[in-house]
Amino acid sequence: MTYENFTCETGGDGIALVTWDMPNRSMNVFTETVMEELSAIVEWAVAEDAVKGVVITSAKKDFTGGADINMLSDLLGAFEAKKAENPQAATAELLERASRMSRLYRRIETCGKPFIAAVAGTCMGGGTELALACHGRVVAENAKIGLPEVKIGIFPGAGGTQRVMRMADAVAGLQFLLRGNTLKAEAAKSMGLVEKVAPESELVEAAKAMLSAGVSPVKPWDQEGYKPRGATAVWTPGGFQFWPAANGLYRKETQNNYPGARAIMQAVFEGVQLPMDLALQVESRYFAKTLQTKEAQAMMRSLFVSLQALNKGARRPAGVPASDLKRVGVLGAGFMGAGIAYVTARAGMGVVLIDRDQETAEKGKLHCAGLLEKEVARGRMSEEAAVGILERIVATPDYGALAEADLVIEAVFEDRKVKAEVTEKVKAHLPEGAIFASNTSTLPITSLAKNWRSEADFVGIHFFSPVDKMQLVEVILGEKTEDKALAVALDYVRAIRKTPIVVNDSRGFYANRCVTAYLLEGHLMLLEGVPPAMVENAGKMAGMPVGPLSLTDEVGVDLAWKIVKATEADLGEGAVSAEQKRLLSEMVESRERFGRKNGKGFYDYAGKEKHLWSGLSEIVTPKSADDFDFAELKDRLLVTQALEAARTVEEGVIEDPREADLGSILGFGFAPFTGGTLSYIDFMGLQEFVAKAERLAATYGPRFKPNALLKEMAEKGETFYGRFGTADTSEKAA
């Protein structure tokens, strides 16, 4: 029998080699057709007497990226269509379809013949669950396996939760599931998820040798008398120590905001107490339940579908030839400029790192060397590779070295005069048509572009700090920026493997406007008398990575003060909060508390340790925590950011809701379980959100007043994705 996605060859040794090779795809993914064919292959192998065992491998460099996201989209679409008519039948069908892969894998596990997974390259999600269902696993030295589903709002629902916890140590297994981390080959073997690591060229032969040596077709948990081992066993002394502590850690890390993570805890705890067939049913029911949550749907849309689309150039202008970027100039060798030089060189491009003198330029290169040393020390890079990257960076004060640059990125001090001076120096050395970019974080691009010879060739490329770790890059269009400059900027961002969002010009652009609202609200809470710890905990429990006071320290209390003063100078007194101005002035001007940079901010720092500064009570007077509604504090911190996002849409700064959502999560950590600022509004419902904002405005002032666009959309029953565009769901894998 022939298959569209697989080939089957049986040798004289009775071993069937099943090779997965989807046509017209760069990577194998699970589709309905793939599962149908795999199911047929299993039944063929069981029925064919000549087949003694099966090896499953891939003809591509990677085993699989996981499941096609369209399957989940179609499944949820069918569920929503039938729910109104017959909720019970719709739920039953959802469970049936959602558990199909789990039933297929259980059939492999119990079919009576041994299956070996031979895995090279990337193996994610359903592919890892397939490997775990097999009776043995051989992985190549370059293999990376993972169950990343929790990162997009769901969890491994095809047996992953049950098999991992029966194969691995309880602590390591649960961390693997809850964090969604990727394991290298040796790490997977150390955990007990893999039996053998082999050179890629010997992978299939090693799998066949494993079969020939004898592999039981009956898993340990299907043998009589099986009991979970170690702390995994709930009703044992070890279990009594492990499970309460695990639950406490889960709540600390997630604040119970993520249904997918919560379902992992429930499915694992209940499942390990049951025989495997019942355990898999428990897992499937939690999986179907999780799929129905707004959090899962929002996270799948933003953190998978939209992320893939934007990374592949969804906003790149059509018809502009691809850029061939070989050399990039970076003006400014400070922390930001050095970080830009580092990620650029690491992507394979040459870098000219410019600063006022050789010593200062070399300091920037030395920063890059430090980052590379850490990568080598952590085993993520060879010394030879690190040396090669560093050699691509030329540190110099000579602007003439920019002559062959394909793109120049200015990353000097946030001062108009300084930026104008370096821009002027570049003009004499770059040819006509060369693209010039500014890494400004607040100054409007249109005003800076007037310093360049052609405003059409000027664009903003705004990185977030630290550059080597932060995934988001804002590409900002000035009023006269043309498609070529946009295309070059997007090509560059793709080359350095970061995620771009395209925004139109505005003071603070998009991300900084939203995060500034978060910081302001935290400062105003403090001034109202909300205890500092309560302010911080409200932020973290609302879903933000850190509280607003801690984030202010990381950004720099002195920088926040400079931004407030600059905003007031440009836009007048009414553009800033008098209360916030008083607080920051007292912190910076009177107390010299600049944040983490000088060890003194809203927190006191001692190495990696920090604690809230006790002297805050000299500036603000804390009240009793009982005087405040904690749920309302959390609402304020999220609503204020979402309102600012809605204003950027109304002003035309943001044109695509995908970019607002991803920009908020990747740029400043807006509660990922919401799917982002606009998804937060959409899934709450425009009417409910507007009503909540109006209630907050009545109590706390006009900063919470919903704008005209929000009111109009609420009246019409619209959503941001419905009005301004939806995420593309074509050919995605999870």
Domain CATH number, residue 400:
3.40.50.720
Both 474 and 595 in one domain: the answer is no
Q: Are residues 177 and 49 in the same domain?
A: yes
Residues 611 and 660 grouped into a single domain = yes
Do 490 and 600 lie in one domain? The reply is: no
Q: How confident is the model at residue 323 (pLDDT cuts 50, 70, 90)?
A: very high
Same domain membership, residue 520 and residue 440: no
Q: Residue 144 pLDDT more than 80?
A: yes
Whether the per-residue pLDDT at 730 is higher than 60: the answer is no
> How far, in Å, CA of 499 to CA of 54, rounded?
40
Q: Is position 462 annotated as part of the catalytic site?
A: yes
- 411-420, 577-586, 598-607: least confident range: 411-420
Q: Quick one: CA dihedral 707, 510, 476, 325, positive or negative?
A: negative
Of the candidates 263, 216, 243, the residue with the CA atom closest to the CA atom of residue 113: 216
Do 136 and 25 belong to one domain?
Answer: yes
> Considering the domain boundaries, does residue 314 fall inside one?
no
Query: Which among 165, 192, 147 has a CA at the least distance from the CA of 274?
Result: 165
The mean pLDDT of 54-79, rounded to a whole number, is 90
168-174 mean pLDDT: 95
Residue 605, domain CATH: 1.10.1040.50
672 within 8 A of 303, measured Cβ to Cβ: yes
Q: Let me know whether 529 and 486 are in one domain.
A: no
Whether 418 is covered by a domain: the verdict is yes
Same domain as 564, residue 489:
no
Domain count, the chain: 3
* Distance of alpha carbon 4 from alpha carbon 40, whole angstroms: 12
Same domain, 349 and 497: yes
> What is the average pLDDT across 359-373?
97
Domain C-terminal end among 186, 207, 224: 224
Is 678 buried (19+), middle (13-18) or exposed (0-12) by CB count in 10 A?
A: buried
- Produce one character per residue of 187-225: b if its CB has 16 or more CB atoms within 10 Å, e if not: bbbebebbbbbbeeeebbebbbebbeeebeeebebeeee
- Residue 733: is its pLDDT beyond 90? no
Convert the pLDDT of each residue in 4-59 to its tens digit: 999 999 999 999 999 999 999 999 999 999 999 999 999 999 999 999 999 999 99
Reported as a single tens digit per residue, the pLDDT across 503-523 is 999 988 999 999 999 999 999
The 10s digit of each residue's pLDDT in 246-290 is: 999 899 889 999 999 999 999 999 999 999 999 999 999 999 999
Chain-centre distance for alpha carbon 170: 26
Residue 364 bridge partners (DSSP): none
Distance (Å) of CA 44 to CA 7, 35, 48, 431, 632: 13, 14, 6, 66, 60
CATH code of 140's domain: 3.90.226.10
**306 lies in some domain:** no
pLDDT given for residue 84 in this prediction: 85
CB atoms inside a 10 Å sphere around CB 178: 22
| Range name among 6-15, 68-77, 110-119 with the lowest pLDDT average | 68-77
Q: Which one of 507, 533, 561 terminates a domain?
A: 507
Q: Provide the angle, in degrees to the nearest 10, between the axes of the packed helices 32-47 and 100-110.
A: 20
Does 691 map to a domain?
Answer: yes
Q: Is residue 256 part of a domain?
A: no
% of the chain residues with pLDDT over 70: 99
Per residue in 453-484, is it b (16+ CB within 10 Å) or e — as a string?
Answer: bebbbbbbbbbbeebbebebbbbbbbeebbeb
Instruction: Look up residue 201 and give its amino acid.
Output: S
Give the count of beta carbons closer than 10 Å to the beta carbon of residue 433.
11
- Out of 135, 367, 462, 523, pick the active-site residue: 462
Q: Is residue 257 part of a domain?
A: no
CA atoms of 732 and 717, how far apart (whole Å): 30
DSSP 220: G
Whether residue 204 sits in one domain with residue 74? yes
Give the residue among 167, 123, 170, 169 at the shortest CA–CA distance from 148.
123
In angstroms, the Cα distances linking 546 to 449, 515, 540 are 35, 12, 6
pLDDT tens digit string along 644-661? 999 999 999 999 999 999
Same domain, 528 and 611: yes
Flag whether pLDDT at 379 surpasses 90.
no
What pLDDT shows up at residue 731? 37
pLDDT at position 726, please? 60
pLDDT at 727: 44
Domain presence at residue 540: yes
252 located within any domain: no
Tell me the angle at which helices 511-528 and 548-555 cross, rounded to the nearest 10 degrees: 120
The position carrying tokens 């906003």 is 315
Q: What pLDDT score was predicted for residue 361?
A: 97
Q: Which residues span the domain enclosing 135?
A: 6-224
Three-class SS state of 725? coil
Mean pLDDT within 697-712: 97
Distances (CA, A) of 503 to 68, 448, 474, 654, 715: 30, 16, 7, 5, 27
The predicted model gives 400-422 an average pLDDT of 93
Residues 120 and 135 in one domain: yes
Q: What is the pLDDT of residues 594-644, one digit of tens each?
A: 999 999 999 999 988 999 999 999 999 999 999 999 999 999 999 999 999
- Of the residues 165, 193, 224, the one at which a domain ends: 224
